[in-house]
Structures are given as C-alpha cells and as structure tokens.
Amino acid sequence: MPFGSIGIPGLLLILVIALIIFGPSKLPELGKAFGRTLSEFKSATRGLVSNDEDEKKKDAEKVETAALPNK
C-alpha cells in the first residue's frame, strides 16, 4: 500500500497517536527535527544526482575527444 493513499483521516489518527505518545510540548521539537532531517536528505540526494550528471558529462566529453581524428 503506497503512502500516498493514507488520506486525511489516517493523518489525523497518526497525529493524535503522536500527541498522546510524545505530548504537546515535545511535538514541535519532533517536527523541527523531522523537517531538518528531510531537508538534509533532499540536499544529499540533489548532490548525488548532480555528481552523477557531472560524471556523465565528463565521460561524454572523453568519448568525443577520443573519437576526433588526430591532425
């Protein structure tokens, strides 16, 4: 079951359970920590993708220069 089909009632249930377990004072801190973690994950993923694209460009340039006839 994909996470995209949880829906609003499911999210409300998760929020209520988190509120009961952690309490209202700890919930904002957990949200901030989760947000920071998600942000770091996104930036690391972007870094990996950009590194991969850079390597592909370098490989393509090497192939192009190797294919050129020497004068």
Q: How many domains does the chain have?
A: 1
pLDDT exceeds 60 at position 1: no
Q: Residue 41: its pLDDT value, please?
A: 92
pLDDT tens readout for residues 5-49: 788 899 899 889 988 998 888 988 988 999 999 999 998 888 888
Task: Round to whole Å and give the CA distance between 13 and 50.
Answer: 38
Domain for residue 3, yes or no?
no
Domain for residue 17, yes or no?
no
Domain for residue 67, yes or no?
yes
Residue 59 is which amino acid?
Answer: D
Q: Residue 55: its pLDDT value, please?
A: 76
Domain for residue 8, yes or no?
no
Domain for residue 14, yes or no?
no
Task: Round to whole Å and give the CA distance between 47 and 5.
Answer: 29
Domain for residue 41, yes or no?
yes
pTM, to two decimals: 0.51
pLDDT tier, 71 (very low <50, low <70, confident <90, very high otherwise): low
Which residues form the domain of 51?
A: 24-71
